[in-house]
Structure formats: structure tokens, C-alpha cells
Chain A
Amino acid sequence: MAGNIEVKKAACYFCHMNCGMLVHVEDGVVKKVTGDPEHPFNQGAQCPRGASAIDHLNHINRVNYPLKRVGERGSGNFKRVSWEEALEDIAARLKKYKAEYGAESIATAGGTNRTDDWARRRFFNLLGSPNVVHTSPVCWIPNFLIETAIYGWSAFDPEIMGSRCVVVWGHNPGASYLPEMRGLLEAREKNGTKIIVIDPRYSETAARADIWLPIRPGSDCALALAWLNVIINEELYDADFVENWTVGFEELRERVQEYTPEWAEAKTWVPAERIAMAARTYATSRPACIQWGVATDQLGRATSAVAQARAVLRAICGNLDVPGGDVMPGPHPTFITDVEMELNELLPEEQRAKQLGADRFKLSTWPGYKLLNEQLQRVWGKGLPAEWMCEASPPVLWRAILTGKPYPVKALIVLADNPLSSYANSRLVYEALNKLDLLVVMDYWLTPTAALADYVLPAASWLERPVLTTTYGVSDWLIASERAIQPLYERKTDYDFWRALGIKMGQGEYWPWQTNEEVFQYRLESLGYGLETYEDFVRGVRFDFAPREYYKYLEKGFATPSGKVELKSSILETLGYDPLPHYVEPPFSPEATPELARDYPLILIAGGGFMPFFHSEHRQITRLRLLHPEPRVAINPELAQKLAIKEGDWVWIETPKGKVKQRAKITTAVPPGVVQAERGWWYPEKGVKDLFGIWESNINVCLDDDPDTCDPACGSWCTRTILCRIAKVEG
């Protein structure tokens, strides 16, 4: 006889989409997980990760209890301890470091939104340390911040269904955002929307494009500037909008004269006429939108220049905040957003000044954050979350740990992250992790990073926690999802962790909500639904989409010092950056480093998402791993023939920083001079003593993160255009 069956409305947390899931729970046991047909994103569907959710929940290798290192760091010997013992010791040591070296000697690293990030920031603000890092400099944040500097929020909400032309730039939703890909294809089917894809590689999305521009890796800035040149000189821009709502157009016009399509042809390897044709298609198909793509956030010192040129492009073509264009959603007006939970005001000025990297990467740290927020508060009434938008620089952090300069960093708390696989220059990261006095890792698994930790703490995954989806608190909608089951074993949510540690650190008064549900309920109260519990909200309301508003600037102006779109950005100028769009060559390329190109003649793309994995996750889910058992490097047949490499051969990929091996995938998806490696690879099956094979295929071993090569505004390191050589692995 069937027991007590309930269907819970949960949300998948295996990527950012947070697709809605229906979880069938029988007497507290998860029996089935399917897509929620009522959810606006996935409409009942699942990707392979969501479909295999129960494998993840019940995997034999999950970390289920707090573990304390015994013996040498990296020996892989741990013993089970109680949460109380672990937290007591961690708190005591944090207090000691704070007293001896200052709160800034304690840092934390995060990954991609698998946690309630505001809780991390709340803890660190109360602790007094500005040293929170994420992979944020190579994911979204440079774009968000540059756009915010130019027009007072990020126009990250492209209205694809109403667009006549969608530009998918450095982005492959066909492998990484499936609901978005469905939207693209449906827009074309129903409305005849043109799809322009800009990608050096023939991706799943490029394969569906009306126009595909296969640019040289890293030359995005040249393409954007040439588009500006064509659109301005052929007067294809929105003259009314430019006249009434922008400043700096004449300077822009003058500046882009040098960036002709012919100039861009040499940089991008795309014929000038084709560049011009695509520019005309974009500019004359109104409304049009440009989707954010992660690739251009990973161009090292060229990163923010691309974002700047593209932001200006959107603006002069009159696509900002129009139906079918690039909508700036703004923060949710009513509910309590992330930034309102962070307690940034409690971080003293002198501690802000100590943020690692804030002296050089000024837009993504306190100096820029302060300037931007003054404007945002004025127009939107709310600012951006400091989490992600105002962070220490990871490359500077690793170096501070190693050298003790500018001051000692003794402790690192890692949640939802695996720095050994997810940050560039893995050997340097390894040395830094080893040098720490205290490394705490909270995760689902014993990862290569966790293998080095002093404490490994068991994390609850999405079936075991409620999820409030708010796009980091920067969009005007929210979707609430409930916990399917209470955490198994001794797993906890990150909120539980920060709260418990915070109480031990004397922060008790700031953590009044005992559970995730209580704090979510508190954040939703101002919506006025008057429901008694968070679960009532999920069951009765679930979504809150603020009424869509277009042309908000007509009433509010833009959240910039001039109240207009600043084609010549006063905020960038104040921070010491070029206020006008300009060309920057990425740090490693045949042009930037010709001497290096002699020994390393190939261009390496060291990134890109691929199914069925997300970042460095899911390699231990056998069902998924069997679909894609080994890392693969894409090599053009012409190059493969020259180097006598055959399909499936192990191939060394070598840069001045190091070498790793991946299997050859011979394909015309890449041109002969370019190879694309897969990211995030480690081998959970290889065992803790070998650090799960982290040195074998992890492409980040080959990447440099020298701060001099990073983006001067946002600190992004370069992953999308590196010089390398390849050779068949002999023997």
C-alpha cells in the first residue's frame, strides 16, 4: 500500500536556470523527480542533470558528516567529527587570526550561485573582512558593471520573443541554457526572428544561426567596434534616442573612425563585407537584442573593452528598455533583495580599503561599487549586491596568501567552489591552498580542493533546501521553491552554516531567522500576500513578476551622473579608464605576444560549457559520465593530419604554464589554427591521494592569471585565447 505521498515544488540548482521540479516524496523518501509543467522556464522539461537528480541525492560518495583532517595536508586522511566540534574549532581559529592579523586575513571563495550568497557577505561584513572572491571576474560581472557604468543597470533581459534580430555573442545556449535555446528557435519559427551568432567555433547554437560570424578567438572587441563604425557612418543608429538620451556621441563618432570593417577583417579573420552586412542586419532590424555570453568575460585585459563597445552599440541602436529589445529589469521593487540582506554598511571604511586588488581593479571592487551605487540608489532606490559586484581579486588573493603581501591571509572558507579546477593557474592556486593555516570546504563531494582542507563540511543540495530564485537580486521577479525533504545525514545549507558560525563568532543578534524558510518568509513579507509560512507562499503564489515596464528612463532617467546613457562614461573616466570604446588585444595572441607564438603557434580556447556537465560538476554521476567519459580537445582534421593525431588519441596541450592531456576530437567545428579544450575536468574515481587526477586534464593548469594580464577594470583573467602547442601523447 502506498504511504504518505506528497508532490513538492522544488527548483533544480544544477545551473542558473533553476528550472521548476515536481518531487514525489513518499514517507520522506524522494521517489521521482520530473519537470514542473507550470514553471515558466522549463515548462515541464528537464536536462540530463535534472533527470538524474536522485543519483546525485543518494550517491554513495556524498560527504554526509563533517570531516576533520588528520595527518598531513593532502594525505586524504579525515576523521568524522560533530558539527559542534568543527564549528567550535573553526570559530576559535578565526577569532585568533582576526586578533593577530586583522579580519582581512580571513577570506572566502565561492563558485556559481549554488548558495545564498548574501549570507556569505553578511557573515563577512560582520566579521570585518572585504576579502570575498568568486569566479565573478570571468562570469557576467564585467559586463554587468560596465553596462551599469554606461546606462545605470545591466540590460540583461533580452526580450527574444518580441525581437526581430537576436545577437548571441560568445554564448552557446544550445549546450548551456536549453530553455533559452528553445526561446530562440521558437522566436524564429513564430516571428521570423533573425539569429546572429558570434563564436569562433561551430557550436550547437552557431549550427542554428541565420548568420554565423566565426571570428578569431578574442577579437570580439574589433567586431563590435567595426559594427559601430558601420552603423554610425551609414547613419543606421536611432538618431532621436542618441540626441535626447545620450552624451558623448560626437566623441564616439570620432573615435570609431579608425575601426573600419577592413581594419576588423585583419583582426577577426571575417571578411569586411560580411562584418558590415551583419552590422546592417542588427541595426536595421528593430527591435533587436544582444544576449549576454560568458566568453567575452574571459578575455583578460580585453574583457571590459568588449563590454563597453557592445553596451554603446545597444544604446545607439535604440534597443535599450524597449519591447523586444534589451530590457533593464531593475531590482524587484517590493521584496527584500540580496543587497538589503548583506549589511554592507557595517563594513568599516578602513576595511573596505584593504580589499585585495581594489587598488588596481577599480570597477569590480569598492571604489567602483561606491560610485555606481550612489547613482543606482538615486534612480532605482536599491543598489547592486556586493556579493559578485564588489569583490576581492582571486589572482591577488592567491599571491597574498603565498607572499604575505600586502598582508598575511591565513584562512579561506570555500563553498560551492573548487578553486583547483575553476581558477586559472592551478599550480599557483595549489601552492596557495597549501600555505593556508586553515582551509574549510563545504561541498557535496570530496573535491580536489576539499582533499586539501582542514575541515570538509557536508552540503545540502537542492532537493534538501528551498530555493529563492532572484537572479542575484538584480531582476524584477522572483520564483520561490520549496524543500523536497529535510537534509539527509548531517548535511546543511550554506545559510545554516553561516548562521551557526556567525553565532559562534558573536554575531547572534544579526541571525534571528532559524531556517532558510524563515529568512525567505521575512524577505517576502513586504509583497503583502500575508501568508503564514514560506511553503504556503510556494504553493499559493510561487512567482512574483513585477509588471513589465518599458522606457523607464522617460520618467526616471538613466542611473548615471548625467541621467543619460554615457557613450563617453564619466564613471569609467573618474576611475581612470578610457571613457570611450577602444580596441584592446587580449594578452596572449599571435599579435600581442609574437615571440611566444613562435613556440606556441596554436590558439587555445580553454572554456565553453558542454552537456551533460556544468562547470566541474557531475563527473561522479555514472549515468552522466558514461555519456561523456573523458575530456576532449577539438582539433581540425588538417592540423590533426599534420601532427599525426587520430581521433581518440591522448593529446598533450602545452603552454608556458604547464601541460595537460585530453582526447583528440577531430572536427571541422574549429579552424586549423585553433583548438578547444574542455574545462572543469577531474577524475573523482582516481582517489584522494592523487587529488583525483587534478593535474592530468584540468585545462586551468595551462592558464595564466598574472594580474598584469587581467582586465584593468574588473580583473578578469584570460581563458578564451591562449597560445599553445599540442602533441600526441607517446607510449
Chain B
Amino acid sequence: MHWGMVIDLRRCIGCHACTVACQVENKLPLNERWNKVFTVGPEGEFPLVTSHFLPRPCMHCQDAPCVDGCPTGASQRRPDGIIIVHGERCIGCKFCMLVCPYGVRQFAAEKGIVQKCHLCYERLERGEMPRCVETCQLKARHAGDLDDPGSEVTALIKQANARPLYPYLGTKPSVYYIFP
């Protein structure tokens, strides 16, 4: 079992519902966002322009610099591929934030620890989809088992040639994008 995600950038419309629903689900402070959406473009001269949106959750890398770099073992890779932060072990040193190439980790000042997207693993365990997947009006997000050749996510990766962000970093992300 290897949980992963496919985000279809042909569909994402930049509404930020995933950002907000994630905040509400995980009871985050107003300024902490585990699931930011970036706007890329428009590029080019009017009217010959292009643009798209880029949601950026934790990539759940299988060779995760944040796990390797964590001095207390708070950042861990679960057997199902999800990278989590054990709050009680985190000392807030922020080293993981420094080494994460995707900038997805956030310092929760009032708790003094680092937090980030954990793919709503508690929901997954209850048989529910991550909140960002559930809330997406455009159905741009899909979660599933990357090890299962019959799963929706593996099919999408194959059909649409989905690929991770910055694969050359060698971190083996579990989040794949279908680029427009």
C-alpha cells in the first residue's frame, strides 16, 4: 500500500476550496495553510497567453529530506507512504522546513512545532477521501494506492502521463500532476 495523489491541472481552476477545507478539517490557525494554490501566469502577450493553477500539498516523498534531516525522529514515513510529523516529538527546530524543496512545511507558532499535510490519514483509515479531494468542485484531485495497478490514480498517471513536481530532485514524491 502506497498512498498517493494525482492533481489534474487541466481541471484546477484556482478556487482555493482545498486550502480552506483543509484548514477547517485540520483546525488550523487562519494563517497556516497546508494546501496552498499558486497562480502560474498568464504568460505571453495579450491575447496569446497561457496560465494555470498549481495546488501544492506535501509531496509525501519516499526519499524524504525532511525525514532524513529530523534530529528527533518526529518526521516519519509511515508504512503506507504517508509522511507525518509526531507533534510530541517535534522540538520546532525548523530544520525540516529548510530542507524541504517544496516549501510545504509550516511552523505552528502557538504550538511551537512544525506541521504539514498528512493526507488526512485518519480519514483514509475511516475509508474516506482526504478533505481536499472531497471538496474539489472540479474533481481535479484524486487519492489512491500507487502500488495497485488497478487503482484510479495509477490509471490516471499512465493515461495522462502524470509526473511529479521537480522529479530531478530525486525525492520520489507521491503526488503526481497532470500538466495542461
Q: Is residue B151 within 8 Å, beta carbon to beta carbon, of the partner chain?
A: no
Measured CB to CB, the closest approach of chain B to A11, in angstroms, equals 15
Q: Which of B48-56, B64-72, B89-97 contacts A (4 or more CB under 8 A)?
A: B48-56
* Chain B residues with CB under 8 A of A45: 17, 134-137, 139
Instruction: Contact check, B49 vs A668: say whether CB atoms are below 8 A apart.
Output: yes
* Chain A residues with CB under 8 A of B31: 626
> Bound state CA distance, A664 and B40, in angstroms?
18
Measured CB to CB, the closest approach of chain B to A265, in angstroms, equals 14
* Chain B residues with CB under 8 A of A623: 20, 23-24, 30
* Chain B residues with CB under 8 A of A52: 20, 24
Instruction: Contact check, B24 vs A51: say whether CB atoms are below 8 A apart.
Output: yes
Instruction: Contact check, A48 vs B19: say whether CB atoms are below 8 A apart.
Output: yes
> Bound state CA distance, A412 and B18, in angstroms?
41
* Chain B residues with CB under 8 A of A672: 46
* Chain A residues with CB under 8 A of B46: 202, 214, 636, 668-672
Q: Is residue A449 within 8 Å, beta carbon to beta carbon, of the partner chain?
A: no
Instruction: Contact check, A627 vs B11: say whether CB atoms are below 8 A apart.
Output: no
Q: Is residue B44 within 8 Å, beta carbon to beta carbon, of the partner chain?
A: yes
Q: Is residue A575 within 8 Å, beta carbon to beta carbon, of the partner chain?
A: no
* CB within 8 Å of B: which A664-685 residues: 667-672
Instruction: Contact check, B51 vs A207: say whether CB atoms are below 8 A apart.
Output: yes
> Bound state CA distance, A668 and B44, in angstroms?
7
Q: Is residue B100 within 8 Å, beta carbon to beta carbon, of the partner chain?
A: no
* Chain B residues with CB under 8 A of A686: none
Instruction: Contact check, A611 vs B15: say whether CB atoms are below 8 A apart.
Output: yes
Measured CB to CB, the closest approach of chain A to B54, in angstroms, equals 13
> Bound state CA distance, A54 and B23, in angstroms?
12
> Bound state CA distance, A626 and B16, in angstroms?
11
Instruction: Contact check, A51 vs B138: say whether CB atoms are below 8 A apart.
Output: no
Which residue among B31, B46, B135 has the maximum number of chain A CB atoms within 10 Å of its CB? B46
Instruction: Contact check, A202 vs B21: say whether CB atoms are below 8 A apart.
Output: no
* Chain A residues with CB under 8 A of B49: 202, 668-669
Q: Is residue B78 within 8 Å, beta carbon to beta carbon, of the partner chain?
A: no
Q: Is residue B158 within 8 Å, beta carbon to beta carbon, of the partner chain?
A: no
Q: Is residue B47 within 8 Å, beta carbon to beta carbon, of the partner chain?
A: yes
* Chain A residues with CB under 8 A of B24: 51-52, 54, 623
> Bound state CA distance, A208 and B47, in angstroms?
14
> Bound state CA distance, A48 and B19, in angstroms?
8
* Chain B residues with CB under 8 A of A278: none
* Chain A residues with CB under 8 A of B23: 623
Instruction: Contact check, B17 vs A48: say whether CB atoms are below 8 A apart.
Output: yes
Q: Is residue A185 within 8 Å, beta carbon to beta carbon, of the partner chain?
A: yes
Instruction: Contact check, A34 vs B13: say whether CB atoms are below 8 A apart.
Output: no
A-B pairs under 8 A by CB, number: 102
Measured CB to CB, the closest approach of chain B to A34, in angstroms, equals 7
Which residue among A42, A46, A611, A622 has the maximum number of chain B CB atoms within 10 Å of its CB? A46
> Bound state CA distance, A183 and B52, in angstroms?
19
> Bound state CA distance, A559 and B27, in angstroms?
55
Instruction: Contact check, B17 vs A667: say whether CB atoms are below 8 A apart.
Output: no
* CB-based nearest B residue for A612: B16
A contacts with B, residue count (CB < 8 A): 40
* CB within 8 Å of A: which B1-54 residues: 10-11, 13-17, 19-21, 23-24, 30-31, 42-47, 49-52
> Bound state CA distance, A113 and B1, in angstroms?
48
Instruction: Contact check, A204 vs B14: say whether CB atoms are below 8 A apart.
Output: yes
Q: Which of A173-181, A587-595, A704-712 contacts B (4 or more CB under 8 A)?
A: A173-181
Instruction: Contact check, A47 vs B15: say whether CB atoms are below 8 A apart.
Output: yes
* CB-based nearest B residue for A43: B139
Instruction: Contact check, B14 vs A51: say whether CB atoms are below 8 A apart.
Output: no
* CB-based nearest B residue for A622: B30
Q: Is residue A717 within 8 Å, beta carbon to beta carbon, of the partner chain?
A: no
Instruction: Contact check, A35 vs B135: say whether CB atoms are below 8 A apart.
Output: yes
* Chain A residues with CB under 8 A of B51: 202, 207, 669
> Bound state CA distance, A582 and B135, in angstroms?
45
* CB within 8 Å of B: which A515-545 residues: none
Instruction: Contact check, B15 vs A178: say whether CB atoms are below 8 A apart.
Output: yes
* Chain A residues with CB under 8 A of B138: 178, 181-182, 185
> Bound state CA distance, A58 and B15, in angstroms?
23
Q: Is residue A212 within 8 Å, beta carbon to beta carbon, of the partner chain?
A: yes
* CB within 8 Å of B: which A178-195 residues: 178-179, 181-182, 185
Measured CB to CB, the closest approach of chain B to A46, in angstroms, equals 5
* Chain B residues with CB under 8 A of A612: 15-16, 20
* Chain B residues with CB under 8 A of A563: none
For the complex of A and B, list the 7 residue pairs with the smallest distance between their C-beta atoms, beginning with the closest.
A178-B137, A48-B20, A51-B21, A45-B137, A214-B47, A51-B20, A174-B13
A-B contacts, 10 of them at CB < 8 A, read: A45-B135, A47-B137, A50-B17, A51-B135, A182-B139, A207-B50, A611-B14, A611-B15, A612-B15, A669-B49
Q: Which residues of A contact B (CB under 8 A)?
A: 34-35, 42-48, 50-52, 54, 174-175, 178-179, 181-182, 185, 202, 204, 207-208, 212, 214, 611-612, 622-624, 626-627, 636, 667-672
**Additional pairs, 13, CB under 8 Å, beyond known A181-B13, A204-B13, A204-B14:** A45-B135, A48-B17, A48-B20, A51-B21, A54-B24, A178-B137, A178-B138, A181-B138, A182-B138, A185-B10, A185-B11, A611-B14, A611-B15
